[in-house]
Chain A
Amino acid sequence: MNEKETAKAIVSLLDESTSRLDQNITARLAKAREQAVSRLAQKPSFVSGKANLVASFMDYMYHHRAVSSAALAFSALLVAFVTTQQFNHEAEGQGDAFLLASELPPEAFLDTEFQTWLEESSQR
């Protein structure tokens, strides 16, 4: 008897064992089967492409939750870094503009005497 024949002989005896199951067990299996079939029947027969895509994505995310969580955390860190850099850069630019603009107070340009003083000083 080779390996395959031994396996087949064992399997045929195992098959026989399935026909000797306790009635309570077969009843529970039947109940589980009916429940599964009813779940299938409850499912809508038509699922829109968009909904199907979302469901597939959610299913993928659930089954790859470790990788998804790592990717999500990395993305959050990346976004935070880029945003911080952008904000700092803008703040620096605004600072320069403010300094340049604030060299003279706005009141100085409204003062007519100042204009006179400016003209006189430029003629000198």
Chain B
Amino acid sequence: MATAQELSDFLTQVERRAFKQTVYAVRDDHAALDIVQDAMLKLAEKYPDRPVSEYPMLFQRILQNTMRDFWRRQKTRNLWTTLFSSFGSNDDDDDDRDPLEILSSEDTQDTPDTQVERSQTIAIIENALQALPARQREAFVLRYWEDMDVAETAAAMGCSQGSVKTHCSRAVRALAVILEKNGISKEVLGKSGVER
């Protein structure tokens, strides 16, 4: 059973990453903060008897489910809004969007010649992550950012290990293409990553 101090230490360790991950998914700081707060409370209330070693996995699972709940509510709300406002618009599912199209239209205002600077690189990566299909982003974040293995990622996402590998591979490829398009080659990226 985890103590209050252990829970506090764990949350301190993950809260910023959790917030960022949620922002990439919901694209709204306030909603992301609410979701992270909900996930924290659920972890404390529902799993007080679990050892602290299980917390990373549990927290990620709760966070992903809370995000899905948010999307479900949004979808219902959007449906009613769309019905009342206009009958002509036809929103496609998140997975059907082409991240490259979105990003290229957004980034035409930028000048890519000076984008080697770290802050700009980070901004581009964040935009690229937001533009990824939800499942690919989720797999990438859990597998590489949260450093979970394939089995853990599959368990957290509720899919097979093969799907996780496919999602991760596609996500990295899509991100690399987007970064290349923005003038950030793999060499520059490697250098930026190693410099830390």
Contacts and interface: CB of A to CB of B under 8 A. Distances in A.
A25 B137 CA distance: 22
A39 B173 CA distance: 42
A25 B190 contact: no
B33 interface: yes
Given A18-B16, A32-B36, A1 B122 contact: no
Interface of B is mostly: helix
A18 B11 contact: no
A12 to B, nearest CB: 4
A33 interface: yes
A95 B15 CA distance: 74
Nearest first, the 7 closest Cβ-Cβ pairs linking A and B are: A9-B193, A32-B37, A36-B40, A18-B16, A1-B186, A36-B44, A12-B193
- Sorting the interface of chain A by its residue count into under 10, 10 to 19, 20 to 34 or 35 or more gives 35 or more
A115 interface: no
A5 B118 CA distance: 18
B176 interface: yes
Contacts, number: 127
A13 B29 contact: no
Given A3-B172, A37-B7, A32 B186 contact: no
Given A1-B187, A32-B33, A17 B45 contact: no
Interface of A: 1, 3, 5-21, 25-26, 28-30, 32-37, 39-41, 43, 59
A10 B193 contact: yes
Contact of B169 (A3, A5, A9, A20): A3
Interface residues of B, number: 47
Interface of B: 2, 4, 7-8, 11-12, 15-17, 19-20, 29, 33, 36-37, 40-41, 43-46, 48, 118-119, 121-122, 125-126, 129, 140, 143-145, 168-169, 172-173, 175-176, 186-187, 189-190, 192-194, 196
10 contacts: A10-B193, A13-B189, A14-B145, A15-B17, A20-B119, A26-B16, A35-B40, A39-B44, A40-B7, A41-B4
A40 B4 CA distance: 6
Contacts of A19: 16
A8 B43 CA distance: 28
B172 A6 contact: yes
Contacts of A30: 15
Nearest to A31: B37
Nearest to B23: A25
B144 A8 contact: yes
Most buried by A among B40, B46, B194: B40
Given A17-B20, A37-B8, A9 B145 contact: no
B41 A12 contact: no
A122 B84 CA distance: 92
B117 to A, nearest CB: 12
Contacts of B125: 10, 13-14, 17
A9 to B, nearest CB: 3
